[in-house]
Structure 1
Amino acid sequence: MRHLLFRRIYNKLDAGSCVCACHSLKALAAPSRDVSTRSPLEISFNSKPQKKLDFLSKSVGLFGVPELDSPEGFLRAKDAAIKAGWDLLKQAVDAKPGKQTILLFDELSDTLCKVADLADFVRTSHPDAGYVQAANEAHVAIGTMVEELNTNSDLHKALFDVVQDKELMSSFDEETRRVAELFMFDFEISGIHLDSNKRQKAVKLHEELLNLTSAMLQGCHGPVSVLRNLLPSDLAELFGRLGSGSGDLQISGLYADHPDERIREAAYRMFLFPNPGLEAILQRLLKSRYQLSDLVGYESFSERALKSTMAQNPENVLSFLESLSASLKDPAKAEYEDLQRLKREMGSSSDLMPWDVYYYTARLKEQRSNVNASMYSSFFSLGDCMDGLNTIFQSIYGISLRTTDVRKGEVWSPDVIKLSVEHERQGPIGIIYCDFFQRQGKPQQDCHFTIRGGRRLPDGSYQLPVVVLLLHLPQPTSSNPTLLSPSSVHNLFHEVGHAMHSMIARTNYQHVTGTRCATDFAEVPSILMEYYASDARVLSKFARHHQTRETLPPDVANKLCEEEKICAASEMQLQVFYSILDQAFHGVHPLPDSLANTYAKLHQTHVGVPYVPKTAWYLRFSHLATYGAKYYSYLMSRAVASQIWTSCFKQDPLNRDMGERYLSRMLRYGGGRDPKLMYEDMLEEKFDMNKLASTLVKSIK
């Protein structure tokens, strides 16, 4: 719970290569594999889940938490956490200003997060409605207490007395100072230090922002109703065949991959047509963010949002983005020209437009790869991919992933696989629950949930971190394992990268454990793992045909890795544009121009395809609501990950010395150290955002 006080690719394959690769699919007479040659990881992830019947054992509760052996247990856990929380608050207020104050703050945060974070996962992912309802109630109750804590003047004073004592702060270790400052920053953005009138206004603005954010998210994804008689009859008929019904047409997306250009254009113009009601909501959201930031002493919402990041301020972010935009202009232009030629070759004489880009990019990748996607997937069974991850971690960190039995009541679905993460010298360092397979009602998203953060306990022992990885893969069958597309391999490696960040970090405070770090650094460990999934040498270590066990042919592996670079510059150019737009909208208000005009001007400056009048793509940009002023973070994290890969791992991806260095100079700190200092220690060079932009552009060439 962070950020409240306790919240928180190419040439075609030559004929010989194609025959060789396709031949590997012909495995009708392939012998079955001896179980003795299969690793425990492969067996666990490639086998059809079996429900275990256990009538004798007692339930240990979800995640081994005894109280959670039933939905009602959430209420007991919630009540216990709230009671313990108020006791800890009293201790923190009464304590003599010192390190103990910070430790008590973190213990209070941990006490509430253990229930709130667990409830957050359960309410979105548990198949039992009773558990979902109980988790919702617990989450709301903890959230209410958090709001009370954020406005508790006695608690604020206890922390203020520590942070304002420069001599005392200088006596703390680096992590303790950073945690104290982060807690104080969380307090201040809530407006607790203001006089009563301004504080009441801040509270009202916080409440308004919650409602506006929810309304914006709902509006971003809503369909557009269009009268059928407003469209040419043949076009209306085409949309009707797509399932829109016989009455008004419901346009629920861009139809970006539809082969008919008229459908793509009509959907683009209708779905992105300006919506005055949604525009008003966005304007109020942006204005309220500015007003709250101004109230607590910041020039803009962007300045406030970037204070604890690597970039530090809006000026640095814009410098980074403008540098990227300039460097991407020529390569993106060349890619758009390739797409324009392909469009002509496929029979269209019109210019390349925004609604064409996704469709022709996909066709260009198909044309240049000349390999059936299912051929790739046959070499990437889920079990082999997990073996590959295990090989990487053993090589660079001395860390292994080991399947372990689950006890009765510990998991929410029989296909959840529990991994113990173990270091060759330290022993177990954390637990990962792998909820990888599709089921009815499960969120269709790939994500990482922290269930319990790591921290040093008063007796000197360590509270091991617990996380859940959520994917949405098809179940293995009795005859075939789950096979992953190249993009699914990337998603798997990405999410496991987040999990390993949580496992490896050894912070004294859970407030900064693992992924609880600066937003523009949080994606670095996960994106670095994507580079491993894009390296032919690494793929050769684990990519094997699930039936013949033939290794992925080197030429096919190289082709796959190169394919990822097709239209990478134009895709990145769009991300840069989105990020610049995000910064512009979150600048000083009132903005110098309307949202529509600001969007149009920035599009014309930073995007290589024409702006389409009377469209408002920004009203469909949900990240304005969820990543306000921080959408650039993914690009920044990718730039840092690219620099680490290029300087430290590209020559030898499995270099143990570099792995140990990465572990000890970056991952172990979680969010407990300034990410710029971690970067400089790891790379042994000054943090230079222009160099990062240059490295990022080179990485996609």
Structure 2
Amino acid sequence: MRWLGLLASGRRLALALAPALRRRAIQTAAAEHEVVREDEALLRDLFDMPSAAVLGSAWLHHHQGGPPAGLLLEARFVSPASFRQAGREAVAEADGLVQRVLGAQSGAERRSVVKCLDQLSDALCRVMDVAELVRQVHPDGEWQAAAEDVFAEMLEYMNGLNTHVGLYAKLAEVMDDPAIGAALAPVEREVALSFRRDFERSGIHLPPTAHARFVALSSRIHDASRDFLRCQSQPPAAAAAAAAAVPVPVESLQALPPDVLAHILQSSPVRRPGGGAPVVDVVPDDHVAQYILRDCPDERVREAVYRAWQHGAPGAVERLERLLDARHELAQTVGFASFAHMTLDDKMARSPDHVDEFLRGLAAQAQPQWDALARSLHRTRAGAAPKPGAARARSMFPWDREYWVGRQQMEAGALPSLAHYFSLGRVVLGLSRVFGRLYGVELRAAAPRPGEIWHPEVRKLEVVGEDGRLLGLVYCDVFARSSKAHVGAAHFTARCARRVDDDIAGPPGAARARSSQTVVERGGRLFQLPVVVLICNFPEPAPGAPPLLSWSNVETIFHEMGHAMHSMLGQNGFHNVAGTRCAVDFVELPSILMEHFARSPRVLALFASHFRTGAPLPRGLVHQCAERRRRYAALDLHAQLFMSALDQRYHSADPGARGPGWTTRALAAVHASPMFAAGAARTLFGHVEGTQWQARFTHLVGYGASYYAYLFDRVLSGRIWDHVFHGDRPYHPAAPSAGDPLSRSAGERLRNEVLRWGGGRNPWECLAAVLDNGSTPRRDVEAIARGSRSAMRIVGGWRLPDA
């Protein structure tokens, strides 16, 4: 195999990095990771003991150390000006490919239409996706400005392509040709179907009048979405703030953390009515409200703060209803009964009724947990000393929930932190060992070339197979900083894997973008390697210590690396279905499955050791922390189920049920549904008259009718963990593992039946194939492969996450 471009140089730089960071193999007290190889020590120390001299400005500024390699090893991305030029080149390449598609006449030309469209999509996304990344994380204002401009210009161009009648007509002509249809490979057929669905969702097949209506509705949806989100981010006007302010005795806030109390006193007016005790007028935002609901002992204060907080920003409900009504009208314009029907048409769920089957199945399992938690909180309150405002209450309400959970946790006592066992370098080393055991794939430390990264804290990893073959690159930007948008944890695909030696040349004279430097030769063919970026906002390490992570942070980086591995292994030859480019209700399965590995005692034994002493993480401590978290998992499950059900109700509601305030009435109806209202938990999770929780449900913008997807994939991943990996759990320290969660045969099964396909295979078929190992009844496997309503009912009956 021959490496192309600068990849070989990158390899030499990685070796040059070794003397600065190399450490001898170390001995620890943990049997499963007694010896650390030199390459593993290099990987660990890249994150735990970084050398500023090696990883600092010499790699960031191209004038020190040779010509620039370009951002993310893309030769066109060496400066803001060249990035703008890359955007123009991408559009020119796309224009050439458009002409090629429109002019396709011969059998060979028409046969290449799907390849042309996939190549066109890649040409645009290789710039647009990096522009999205740059405007979020790059510290340089000129780069950010260039990215903003490039993204906006290319988005406008791409929107034009999505409504290009000629492209749609040619694709439909090709797909409807029996001879060409029979010649398409299965993955190629999925690519063609994905393009056709996207076109038709843009209303392109509609007659002119209906299409004009579709475009107008799309514009209304965009404006309503923007206005709804703006309501959340803009501070309320003075009059609105005064109306929403809650007078709170300062004495009632003494139990809050000192920094939170100081923030409230500094940002809110304090007065002494009648010269008496001080009162602060609190306008409860998310941050302040959550601390008051958790720590304030006065139930009357908690109730007043809860009601003000849950009323939402002024005008938010009106804007939300405008958004939902426009979505409904748009769906009916293209022939669907509702927006939910339109959105789910190509998802695993397929219809709102199927989602409802799934949610009802989970809720039936969960209700005993909610009821048990409610009774437990009642007992805790009954045994507590009377507090101001508590005597008047017989039921428990939503504003009581977090307070009494907090009291229970305090009574149980604080648990020692696990962070000393989770240095970032050890966690990344653990990930490499897991991937090695499962797939024969390892992470290797690599030194970035000049200009390749955007900040000295960024770390570069190569993903390498057992045969030494490079599979792709992962860049890790994991620490919070002021120049970085608060995007939380995220996986950005900067470049998708695809085959490039059979790319289609544009018409004579058409501009052609320069090829990426991440291209390799395999068996006489050329492939563009995947390049991904992982973003987290972990706290910066203390001076003299490695970065230490909470267990929750460990799960986060395992989750995001699950996405990255999907990108690395999902190389099916086509950009549009590579890696994570699959159904939205399937894409989280590989990443959530990795969270199970992050909780497995067998897996933790691979890497979790004290950063100073090398002592292994005590299994009993893992058990204690896991049990504490599992006890309250029902709270998160209720929230996820409730939001999923409300999302479906909003996007499939009958038009006759609409009218001003209809979302609040629907909110109350979902609260009162038998799915959620039962036993002691009825008022604990119930609707509070006069509140408008939906005014803060911002996920409705990005996840309209598909919020269930995350919960759905949690259940699927739990099934695979139990029945394919036979994985252990952290809840019972004395119980033997049911199997080996690090089984290579199980890893290869997941890789071959799920990961390698990306979006190039029906996800129900992937799920049925990976579960068809004798542990799932054959009848269920066949129903799952069909993806019918019964399949959703079967999935809804599977073990609840963390149950």
Length-normalised TM-score, structure 1: 0.91
Report the counterpart of residue 421 of structure 2 in structure 1: 379
- Deviation of residue 572 (structure 1)? 0.6
Uncovered stretches (5+) of structure 2, i.e. residues with no partner? 1-34, 254-260, 271-280, 503-524, 728-738, 773-780, 785-790
**Is the Cα–Cα contact under 8 Å of residues 539 and 557 in structure 1 kept in the other structure?**
no
- Deviation of residue 303 (structure 1)? 0.6
Separation in 2 of the partners of 1:506 and 1:230?
55
- Deviation of residue 461 (structure 1)? 1.9
Report the counterpart of residue 315 of structure 1 in structure 2: 353
SS in 1 for 2:76: helix
TM alignment of 1:284-299, pairs within 5 A: 284-299=322-337
Which is further off, 342-351 or 409-418?
A: 342-351
**Is the Cα–Cα contact under 8 Å of residues 497 and 525 in structure 1 kept in the other structure?**
yes
| Cα distance change, pair 37–320 in 1 and its aligned pair in 2 (3 A) | closer
- Deviation of residue 357 (structure 1)? 2.6
Deviation string, structure 1 residues 109-140 (Cα, Å, up to 9, x no partner): 00000010010100111000000000111101
Report the counterpart of residue 554 of structure 1 in structure 2: 619
- Deviation of residue 267 (structure 1)? 2.5
Which is further off, 59-68 or 643-652?
A: 59-68
**Is the Cα–Cα contact under 8 Å of residues 432 and 467 in structure 1 kept in the other structure?**
yes
Correspondent of 1:327 among 353, 356, 365: 365
Separation in 2 of the partners of 1:145 and 1:370?
56
Correspondent of 2:595 among 530, 555, 578: 530
| Cα distance change, pair 486–345 in 1 and its aligned pair in 2 (3 A) | farther
Report the counterpart of residue 285 of structure 2 in structure 1: 252
Separation in 2 of the partners of 1:34 and 1:102?
48
Report the counterpart of residue 9 of structure 1 in structure 2: none
Report the counterpart of residue 655 of structure 2 in structure 1: 590
Report the counterpart of residue 646 of structure 2 in structure 1: 581
**Is the Cα–Cα contact under 8 Å of residues 224 and 323 in structure 2 kept in the other structure?**
yes
TM alignment of 1:552-631, pairs within 5 A: 552-592=617-657, 594-605=662-673, 606=676, 608=681, 609=684, 610-631=686-707
Separation in 2 of the partners of 1:669 and 1:453?
13
**Is the Cα–Cα contact under 8 Å of residues 561 and 591 in structure 2 kept in the other structure?**
yes
Separation in 1 of the partners of 2:413 and 2:45?
32
**Is the Cα–Cα contact under 8 Å of residues 257 and 358 in structure 1 kept in the other structure?**
no
Report the counterpart of residue 102 of structure 1 in structure 2: 114
- Deviation of residue 681 (structure 1)? 0.7
Separation in 1 of the partners of 2:740 and 2:99?
53
One-letter code of the match for 2:76?
E
Report the counterpart of residue 551 of structure 2 in structure 1: 486
Correspondent of 1:181 among 193, 198, 201: 193
- Deviation of residue 197 (structure 1)? 1.4
Deviation string, structure 1 residues 393-437 (Cα, Å, up to 9, x no partner): 000100000011100010000111100001113611110000112
Separation in 1 of the partners of 2:797 and 2:527?
41
Question: 2:499 aligned with 1:456, yes or no?
Answer: yes
One-letter code of the match for 2:719?
Q
Question: 2:767 aligned with 1:679, yes or no?
Answer: yes
Separation in 1 of the partners of 2:179 and 2:36?
67
Which is further off, 626-635 or 249-258?
A: 249-258
**Is the Cα–Cα contact under 8 Å of residues 415 and 625 in structure 2 kept in the other structure?**
no
**Is the Cα–Cα contact under 8 Å of residues 403 and 418 in structure 1 kept in the other structure?**
yes
Separation in 1 of the partners of 2:186 and 2:759?
11
Separation in 2 of the partners of 1:662 and 1:694?
22
Separation in 2 of the partners of 1:36 and 1:150?
51
| Cα distance change, pair 299–483 in 1 and its aligned pair in 2 (3 A) | same
Report the counterpart of residue 275 of structure 2 in structure 1: none
Question: 2:709 aligned with 1:700, yes or no?
Answer: no
- Deviation of residue 566 (structure 1)? 1.4
Report the counterpart of residue 516 of structure 2 in structure 1: none
Question: 2:120 aligned with 1:120, yes or no?
Answer: no
Separation in 2 of the partners of 1:637 and 1:45?
31
Question: 2:309 aligned with 1:271, yes or no?
Answer: yes
- Deviation of residue 356 (structure 1)? 3.1
TM alignment of 1:213-232, pairs within 5 A: 213-223=225-235, 225-227=240-242, 231-232=246-247
Report the counterpart of residue 568 of structure 2 in structure 1: 503
- Deviation of residue 554 (structure 1)? 1.7
| Cα distance change, pair 167–452 in 1 and its aligned pair in 2 (3 A) | same
**Is the Cα–Cα contact under 8 Å of residues 257 and 359 in structure 1 kept in the other structure?**
no
Deviation string, structure 1 residues 155-211 (Cα, Å, up to 9, x no partner): 111111022234532331211111111101100111111111111111111111111
| Cα distance change, pair 68–526 in 1 and its aligned pair in 2 (3 A) | same
SS in 1 for 2:718: helix
Correspondent of 2:71 among 56, 59, 62: 62
Correspondent of 1:447 among 490, 508, 516: 490
Separation in 1 of the partners of 2:246 and 2:717?
48
- Deviation of residue 223 (structure 1)? 4.9
- Deviation of residue 143 (structure 1)? 0.5
SS in 2 for 1:643: helix
Between Structure 1 and Structure 2, whose CA radius of gyration is higher? 2
- Deviation of residue 557 (structure 1)? 2.0
**Is the Cα–Cα contact under 8 Å of residues 558 and 595 in structure 2 kept in the other structure?**
yes
**Is the Cα–Cα contact under 8 Å of residues 450 and 467 in structure 1 kept in the other structure?**
yes
Report the counterpart of residue 23 of structure 1 in structure 2: none
Deviation string, structure 1 residues 446-478 (Cα, Å, up to 9, x no partner): 111010011112353221000000011233355
Report the counterpart of residue 653 of structure 1 in structure 2: 741
Deviation string, structure 1 residues 336-382 (Cα, Å, up to 9, x no partner): 22223233444454443212333443554455474223xx1111111
Separation in 1 of the partners of 2:560 and 2:406?
24
Correspondent of 1:158 among 170, 188, 192: 170
Which is further off, 182-191 or 48-57?
A: 48-57
Correspondent of 1:540 among 605, 613, 621: 605
One-letter code of the match for 1:673?
R
Separation in 1 of the partners of 2:234 and 2:697?
12
Separation in 1 of the partners of 2:566 and 2:38?
32
One-letter code of the match for 1:669?
W
| Cα distance change, pair 153–555 in 1 and its aligned pair in 2 (3 A) | same
Separation in 1 of the partners of 2:426 and 2:132?
31
**Is the Cα–Cα contact under 8 Å of residues 92 and 158 in structure 1 kept in the other structure?**
yes
Separation in 1 of the partners of 2:192 and 2:753?
22
Separation in 2 of the partners of 1:366 and 1:522?
38
One-letter code of the match for 2:143?
Y
TM alignment of 1:321-400, pairs within 5 A: 321-347=359-385, 348=387, 349=390, 350=393, 351-365=395-409, 367-368=411-412, 370-373=414-417, 376-400=418-442
Correspondent of 1:639 among 715, 718, 726: 715
**Is the Cα–Cα contact under 8 Å of residues 114 and 452 in structure 1 kept in the other structure?**
yes
Report the counterpart of residue 249 of structure 2 in structure 1: 234
Separation in 2 of the partners of 1:431 and 1:365?
42
